[in-house]
Structures are given as structure tokens and as C-alpha cells.
Chain A
Amino acid sequence: DQQVKQNSPSLSVQEGRISILNCDYTNSMFDYFLWYKKYPAEGPTFLISISSIKDKNEDGRFTVFLNKSAKHLSLHIVPSQPGDSAVYFCAARSTGANSKLTFGKGITLSVRP
């Protein structure tokens, strides 16, 4: 049972445009959400996070939006750059679960020059 779902396996955007990566979750106990970026042959790298008490968190070109009622979050990258091409994982955790992360399957983002 996938508690964190990334239903689109891939996304291709033009350099300079916006990339929107979506994520849905089913577990109401999740109260903290993270996005990780992964290049081939490397481990996941933390990108940005959001607490369930917020609906938006921004860090430079990256913004994460959280809609608790819809159990949906999205990562916006503006403007997209070729170096952003990677696999992006949505992850979630609940504070009562020893902070283990539950990951989605990932989305492969390709930014075309």
C-alpha cells in the first residue's frame, strides 16, 4: 500500500519554464513533508521541506505547496535549469514514528536546454 504517491513517472520541461512535481499521500498521521533530489550513482539529497502547519515554503527557485485537505503537495521549480534534471522523491514522516521517512516512487525530471 503506497502511502506516498507520485503518479507521474516523468516530466520534461523547457529550460527557463516552471516545473511542477506533484505528490499525494494517504496517511493522515504524516505531519512533515520533504523533497529529495537524486542524481545517478549518488544518494538522495535534501532539497526542501514543509511542516503540516504551513501551506507554503520557499527557498530560492524551489517552492513547496501543501494542501492538507486534499492530502496533496507540489514542488515548483522556477526557472528550471538543465542541472535540475534528476529524480525527485517526495517523502513524509510522522513525529510519532521515530522519524523514519516514507518515500514515493520518484519523478524523473528532464529540463531541455
Chain B
Amino acid sequence: DTGVSQNPRHKITKRGQNVTFRCDPISEHNRLYWYRQTLGQGPEFLTYFQNEAQLEKSRLLSDRFSAERPKGSFSTLEIQRTEQGDSAMYLCASSLGTSGLNEQFFGPGTRLTVL
């Protein structure tokens, strides 16, 4: 399977715990995006990498959130001290190119439930 993969697919945690999600983009894609989708809403942009550089972060990304893409390949999204409001589907997408005009391919998402 050469698509975008995300792990885990589901995560249930207790409030206050830290969680980390992983995204493996399509291998030659240099751009990687994280989005969050809550019930009844469309995906909302969180952050974006071009290669290993994090070029933009949304105001939705509080200080408890951190994302990395250390070698310009896979990326991790960590949420510290989780809150019930963090419960959502976290989607990763990747695309190829420097202009940003190419299609974004999405992974299946990680569904987070904070109890």
C-alpha cells in the first residue's frame, strides 16, 4: 500500500495523559499537513511541513500540541495533558511539489477519545 498511513487508528486515553500519533506520507511527497475533524465539521488545518521545516501553525494548535517531521519523511503529532475537547479525528495529508498547488492525499485518520 503506497498511500498515506496513520497509526494508531484509534486511541482512547484518560484526561491528562499524553498521546502521540504517527503519519507516514507517500514516499516522494515533500509536503505534509495535519488536520483535525470534529463531529459534524469539516477538517480544520493544524500545521504544515515542507520537508522537515514546519512552516505554518494554526491558532488551533495550542501549546499542548507539538508536531515534528525530523527527517522530512514521517511526522508525529503529540498532545500533552489531553483534555476532553481534544477528542476528534486527526487527519494527515501529503502532497508533492514546491508550489503547493498539487492535490493533497489524506490518510485514514487517528480517532482520539479522551475520557
Contacts and interface: CB of A to CB of B under 8 A. Distances in A.
A41 to B, nearest CB: 7
Given A91-B42, A106-B42, A101 B104 contact: yes
Given A43-B91, A43-B107, A105-B41, A98 B48 contact: yes
A105 B39 CA distance: 9
Q: Could you say which of A4, A49, A98, A105 has the most chain B C-beta atoms within 10 Å of its C-beta?
A: A98
Given A4-B42, A41-B108, A101-B45, A32 B101 contact: yes
A89 B95 CA distance: 18
B56 A44 contact: no
Contact of B109 (A32, A43, A91, A99): A43
Interface residues of A, number: 25
Interface of A: 4, 6, 32, 34, 36, 41-46, 49, 89, 91, 93, 95, 98-106
Interface of B: 4, 31, 33, 35, 40-45, 48, 55-56, 91, 93, 95, 99-101, 103-109
